[in-house]
Structure 1
């Protein structure tokens, strides 16, 4: 109340100062810190080089020869690589465009492209070589300063925090930011531990990322018609006024009215489908083992192997990769983002998550207990999973994923989109199935087992979750 007696200009100056402090500090610390490190590296300042080498030698001695730790480090470092970061940012951009947040989408694209340009340019300008250690455990091409993984992760996860912060409830904002900070820190540590970057390379990447985020955030606010400079009120994100549009499901207060009932129904259905597929597997491996059906199953695999041609091998490789774990995870994540952006509901995501989680567990259990050997033919390549032959996980996964998407789209939409998804649900698993037969790693009856698993489980999930239920609709859920 006392502020009413103060000049409007004075209150405006205070608001500007309070909201621009974070951005100004990020810009000053980031830019000056990066320039200082770059000068020290370019002039080969001995204390810095000795400290870098000491850290590199210590971590190299700690991780060398520890296969499990190295596997974990290599997996975690990918969260700062171009592949994962580009996919995450592309999905974020698609989400924003569907929600008609064109300015925020442009901010994501421009900020990401800027980091992508700065990294190789500065590497060539500085020209620092990668660390030299006694027992190399990883290799990375190009120069060392600054760390592209550190810069890319800082900018990418920082962009996600700034853009989507308004959609996060206040009680979850600290965990949201903490996860982003932890990811950036872990990525930076893995680059040093794997011996592909000095600690000063990683620090430089973080400092440059902070400066670049401050610059682009300030530019966005000016373009957005907001006179405040810098990142501003970091707790409110870049565009607090877009909160309702950024929220995944603003009209869906309760995703499931009776979650425990749904969980119980899914558990019962999982056991029933397991028994169905397991029984089919026992018929193939035991009851019918001496019959003509199983003999023709083996003959069909041999026929596919005889059709191998150099021109067909790459097509079979592509078909097989469509059904591998990496491709299915990527497609599932893309589907989740697009469904939330388009339908503004979380209930279909629960349905999709139940379908894919159930598919993985059903496949692993049934393949282990049935334990049918792979076909006795030479496989096309070395990429053969350690699991058994019945059912095919490569075929079951796309059957479940694209089948679930087809039934969702069939309810939501009409016309061409309905038929496109239905066609994809049939054609994509068929291509994967033919590729697995061509590779010589599955029998036709293994693929039939996958179809049985997918049809039973998707149907059960649809009945239990009822993803078509509308919030607020007078529709019984008992």
Structure 2
């Protein structure tokens, strides 16, 4: 070390020098990324022949390989949905809600501002450039609008990148390389899927990534300036945007073992699943062989009330119990429950309730093989048998599990909304399914047996309300953990 550097170190200017070095390097990196995007933009805008040839060779080569496999197309389409606008907006909305619950409004605002910027950049540049999407010999997918830059590539880089910056302090140090690697893999796969599906050129995806990096860097720098103005010391980017939020960002920092003796508990759950399946099989076999006249008669009686208006209402009620609706509610409730109560046990209870319901329904329906009612079926041919009703069983399990979790952790009068929903939602779905000719009344009884038996097993094994705390109590425990 030179004498001048030693003087700087002794005088206390080392942190300033390090900050200046990091700032200059960061500025150079952002400028390089911005110039890369600008270069691609100009080359595409003025139809540079070498780039056009490369884009078309890559697009045609991938299309030739992908078009030959229906499985490859389905996998790529599924990967692509993780970069779709609906999925990413929903993901950001859930994380913003969690941050607000954990009282980290600054991070929540950062996500909103950065995300809105992405929504403005993508359509604006597409209109400015006006590039047509690839035209291929064997198209396997279609997308509206112009091609440059790729909205999926831009959006995924920004959304997953900003989530990585926000959530990084809550990830343990030894897991951070894996966490960042997973984020990078997701972004890379989304970009690749858009090229392989033939809806974007290679340069579209590269431009989306470069612009996304530039935008994240700009908003992250603005956030760091905001932190310094609020009196917080600067920290390296590898520590995330707000290192002091680490404890709040961990999902359940104060929780000990989720379940004691997990292998024994797993065996108990498996035994309970087998016994529940046996109960359903016996009931389903009995109803199928017995087949009482009133079982079909009730559905025929409901058919006499059919009108176009009631058909639409019954369709809406029926959709409330389908896989998409149940999965959507579950994916919203689970992270919010973690944010509020900082415990994995209620989330585990809900997840096991839904996974068990699905597997029990599929196996018992396949084993029983009961025909649908002998009336006009408004939903057409279904891939599963009639007993038990999967829609009704899933609705009962979902809303009953939520009610069980909420009632033990909320002291406000509005908590009684959830027991009401646990009755009203299944009742509406049951009436709609029978009205539409999809199930007998005994199929509904089978769904009730499934839900009652399976939730009883989980209640006894998981004990979802053991050590239950309110949101305020969980926050106090968290603050005590920080002090300790």
| Aligned: 1:463 with 2:460 | yes
Hey, what's the Cα distance between the residues in 1 that align with 2:315 and 2:29? 47
1:145 corresponds, among 137, 140, 148, to 148
1:311 corresponds, among 299, 309, 315, to 309
| Aligned: 1:31 with 2:29 | no
C-alpha offsets along residues 50-78 of structure 1, whole Å, 9 cap, x if unaligned? Answer: 11111111111111142121111111110
Counterpart in 2 of 1:113?
A: 116
Correspondence 1:411-422 to 2 at 5 A: 411-422=408-419
Shift of 1:25: 5.2
1:379 corresponds, among 364, 377, 380, to 377
Q: Secondary structure at 1:311's aligned position in 2?
A: helix
Q: Secondary structure at 1:363's aligned position in 2?
A: helix
Correspondence 1:110-259 to 2 at 5 A: 110-225=113-228, 233-259=236-262
Hey, what's the Cα distance between the residues in 1 that align with 2:468 and 2:31? 48
Shift of 1:449: 0.7
Residue 234 to residue 69, structure 1, CA distance change in 2 (3 Å): same
| Aligned: 1:367 with 2:371 | no
Correspondence 1:292-303 to 2 at 5 A: 294-303=292-301
Q: Give the unaligned 5+ runs of structure 1.
A: 473-478
1:75 corresponds, among 75, 78, 91, to 78
Counterpart in 1 of 2:475?
A: none
Residue 314 to residue 65, structure 1, CA distance change in 2 (3 Å): farther
Shift of 1:10: 4.1
Contact 1:73 1:190 in 2 (8 A): yes
The size of the alignment, in residue pairs, is 464
Q: Secondary structure at 1:225's aligned position in 2?
A: helix
Hey, what's the Cα distance between the residues in 2 that align with 1:388 and 1:334? 30
Q: Give the unaligned 5+ runs of structure 2.
A: 470-484
1:426 corresponds, among 423, 428, 439, to 423
Counterpart in 1 of 2:325?
A: 327
Counterpart in 1 of 2:443?
A: 446
Counterpart in 2 of 1:53?
A: 56
1:18 corresponds, among 17, 22, 25, to 22
Residue 307 to residue 69, structure 1, CA distance change in 2 (3 Å): farther
Residue 25 to residue 178, structure 1, CA distance change in 2 (3 Å): farther
Range that drifts further, 340-349 or 309-318 = 309-318
Range that drifts further, 406-415 or 100-109 = 406-415
TM-score (norm 1): 0.92
Contact 2:409 2:468 in 1 (8 A): no
Residue 179 to residue 306, structure 1, CA distance change in 2 (3 Å): farther
Correspondence 1:266-281 to 2 at 5 A: 266-281=269-284
Shift of 1:4: 8.5
TM-score (norm 2): 0.91
Residue 232 to residue 440, structure 1, CA distance change in 2 (3 Å): farther
Q: Secondary structure at 2:309's aligned position in 1?
A: coil
Shift of 1:104: 0.4
Residue 4 to residue 17, structure 1, CA distance change in 2 (3 Å): closer
Hey, what's the Cα distance between the residues in 2 that align with 1:314 and 1:25? 59
Counterpart in 1 of 2:407?
A: 410
Counterpart in 2 of 1:476?
A: none
C-alpha offsets along residues 361-401 of structure 1, whole Å, 9 cap, x if unaligned? Answer: 1111101101111223333245x541111111111112111
Shift of 1:90: 0.5
Hey, what's the Cα distance between the residues in 1 that align with 2:399 and 2:24? 47
C-alpha offsets along residues 87-123 of structure 1, whole Å, 9 cap, x if unaligned? Answer: 1111000000000100000011111111011110110
Correspondence 1:330-341 to 2 at 5 A: 330-341=328-339
Shift of 1:328: 1.3
Q: Secondary structure at 1:224's aligned position in 2?
A: helix
Superposed CA RMSD: 2.2
